Structures are given as C-alpha cells and as structure tokens.
C-alpha cells in the first residue's frame, strides 16, 4: 500500500488506521490461540472475554449510566425499525415519530405496518433541510414511545438538542453520530446504531437501553426479534458477528486513546468547521443547503451551480484519491461524511482541493 485513500464514504466508512493495523497483526493468531477470532466458538472464554470487554468499555465511555444494558444484534438499524414497534407498540397505544428525513421516513413506514403511528412533527415543507421544531409538540397521552433520528446522513442534518418526553420513552436512531459528541445518555430510554459509521465494520448493531424497557417483550414476537431474548442471553442466544464485535472493541479502545468522547468531539468540530468555512467563504461557488442551526458535524452536504460542475468535481476528486464525495442518489449534490475515524488531514486535503477547484472553475 503506497497511500491511503481520502475516505469520505457514508457507510461502510473509514476505520482508524491504528485499529486496522492491530486487527491485521492479530488476524491469524488471536492471543496465541492458534486461531483467528473468526474461527473460535462464541461459547468459549476467549471470545466471551472480548464480547464482555466491549460492553464494559462502551458503557464506561458513556459514563456508566445506571440501569442501562448493551446488546449486540444483527440486521442493521433497518431491522430495529421493525423490532421497536414489535416490542413496544401494544394495542391501544400509538407510536410517535419525528420525520426529519430519509432514515426517519423508513422507520415510520415500518411502524405503520405494525400498529397505529403518528408523526409529531416534520420538516418535509423545508425539504428536510432543517431539524423539525419540537417546541410546541404535544405528545399523545397513549404514546408508546417517541422516536427520533439524531443525524440524517442523506440530507446532512443533526439534532443540536433533544426533546423532553416525560414518562414516554424516547428512542433514537443514532447510527451516524453515536460517540461523535458528548451526550447525557440518561435522556434516552433506548439508543440503536448500526456499527458501520462510527463504531466498527458492518455486521453488528448496537442497542443501549434501560434494562426495564428490554425485560418483557410480547409473547407473540418471534424469539430472534425479542429484546428480552438477547438481554437474558447476553447477546449470545445465537452466533454473534464475532469479528465485528471484536472490531467494535478495538475502535472503543481507540476512542479512549483520543481522550474519550470529549477528545473525539473536539476533533470532529474542528474538521466540520474547516469544511463549512470553505463552503461559506466561497462567494457562492459552493452552497450548503442545510439550515445553519441544523448542520451535521458528521455528514456535510453541499452543492455547486450545476450538475455538470458537480460531476466534474467528482471526477477530478477521484483522480486525486478522494472517495465517497458523491451525494446520495435520492438528493444528488455532494457529501463529505467525516465520521470519527476520518483524519483531520483528509479534511484539510479536501478543502485544499475545493479551493483549487474553485480557482480553476469559478
């Protein structure tokens, strides 16, 4: 390998180079067992040690909130879209959702298949370029839960503050910004996140939730789709994605080495400011469509004056080693996903390219 790509993929996304190198060194022979961790039994002490270490490390980074449990599940966040109403939306209750963009929309559609669902607020009128205003939202008395999507990867929006839901459980899809900034985890009753953006490779989905919420799933829900099945078996009811869990543990070690979530957040905000400043100071050559108060520090979306120019930007950036800058097919434009593992130097290289491109094409 002569040079690492400037990886701005939206997911699966960049992993820390240090983590990849550690995994490479341990891949064939894990801890002198004569086996890769992918070859060993998930019932054995060696794998269970890694499994439990990852759980302990994640809770520690989150401040060891009392009464919370971690589950390692499969099927991505998309399976959680269905599991949540299957487990929590009982007869006579309504599932309350905030519609903030593409991923919230997918969650809402799944819930509607399983029970009564209402949309508390939506930013559709703003083409999802803002986070919905929740100041005047009235939560139904019979709400089973309130569901939000903390960061919309496609549109490039992110919650800056979270709603107060009182006694109604607050559930959040945090797939694309988990561990990116300091949060009070006790604000949430359940957090779920696909690992493939900030936590590790694809294959494992993390659920962090209050134990009381996970304890009793409806008896008619199939075993593999019941939270209490996985809680009572420490996420070892069936064969877990062992290598993905191992990689999550290694990424969590890396987060600790960066100074914890506080250190990671400081770097993320520095990276985001660098790129947003380049957009905002371009005299209109680059345009950030997202409302300033809703901008994501994980997924930076921007446009040029024409699709032709955007296509030229993509082509020339790829020639210089940049990957993943094309916007999602549903919205077009350009997008730089700058998750935790994307180095500041990659963001600096991107802004240098953006300045050169403007000079040549402005």
3-state helix, strand, coil in the chain (%, to 5): 40, 15, 45
Active-site residue 173, yes or no? yes
Is 197 part of the annotated catalytic residue set?
yes
What are the start-end ranges of the H helices in 130-283?
Answer: 211-214, 227-232, 242-257, 260-280
Give the separation between CA 263 and CA 173, rounded to whole angstroms.
23
Burial status of residue 116 (CB atoms within 10 A of its CB: 0-12, 13-18, 19 or more): middle
Q: Determine which one of 69, 105, 173, 254 is catalytic.
A: 173
Q: Which residues contact 26 (CB under 8 A, 6 or more apart)?
A: 37
User: If you ran DSSP here, which 8-state letter would residue 185 be given?
Assistant: G
CB 152 within 8 A of CB 128: yes
**Residues 6+ away with beta carbon under 8 Å from 211:** 67, 68, 69, 231
Of the candidates 103, 105, 210, 326, the residue annotated as catalytic is 103
Please identify which of the residues 105, 177, 189, 197 carries the catalytic annotation.
197
State the catalytic residues.
103, 173, 197
């Amino acid at each position: 390998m002569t040079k690492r790509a400037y990886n701005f993929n939206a997911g699966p996304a960049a992993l820390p180079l240090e983590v990849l190198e550690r995994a490479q060194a341990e891949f064939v022979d894990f801890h002198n067992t004569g086996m890769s961790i992918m070859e060993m039994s998930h019932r054995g002490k060696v794998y269970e040690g890694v499994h439990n270490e990852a759980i302990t490390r994640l809770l520690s980074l989150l401040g060891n909130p009392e009464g919370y449990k971690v589950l390692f599940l499969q099927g991505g966040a998309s399976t959680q879209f269905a599991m949540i109403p299957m487990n929590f939306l009982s007869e006579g209750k309504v599932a309350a959702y905030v519609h903030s963009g593409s991923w919230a929309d997918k969650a809402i559609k799944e819930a509607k298949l399983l029970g009564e669902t209402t949309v508390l607020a939506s930013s559709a009128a703003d083409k999802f370029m803002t986070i919905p205003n929740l100041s005047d939202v009235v939560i139904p008395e019979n709400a089973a839960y309130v569901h939000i999507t903390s960061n919309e990867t496609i549109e490039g929006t992110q919650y800056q503050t979270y709603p107060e839901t009182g006694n109604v459980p607050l559930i959040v899809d945090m797939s694309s910004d988990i561990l990116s900034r300091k949060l009070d985890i006790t604000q949430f009753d359940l957090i779920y996140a696909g690992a493939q953006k900030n936590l590790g490779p694809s294959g494992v989905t993390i659920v962090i939730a209050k134990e009381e919420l996970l304890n009793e799933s409806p008896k008619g829900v199939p075993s593999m789709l019941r939270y209490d099945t996985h809680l009572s078996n420490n996420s070892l009811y069936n064969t877990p994605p062992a290598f993905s869990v191992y990689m999550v543990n290694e990424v969590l070690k890396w987060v600790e080495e960066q100074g914890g979530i506080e250190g990671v957040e400081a770097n993320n905000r520095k990276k985001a400011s660098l790129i947003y400043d380049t957009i905002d100071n371009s005299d209109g050559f680059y345009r950030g469509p997202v409302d300033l108060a809703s901008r994501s520090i994980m997924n930076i979306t921007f446009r040029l004056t024409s699709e032709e120019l955007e296509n030229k930007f993509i082509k020339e950036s790829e020639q210089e080693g940049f990957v993943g800058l094309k916007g999602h097919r549903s919205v077009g434009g350009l997008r730089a996903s700058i998750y935790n593992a994307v180095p500041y130097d990659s963001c600096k290289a991107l802004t240098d390219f953006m300045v050169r491109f403007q000079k040549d094409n402005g």
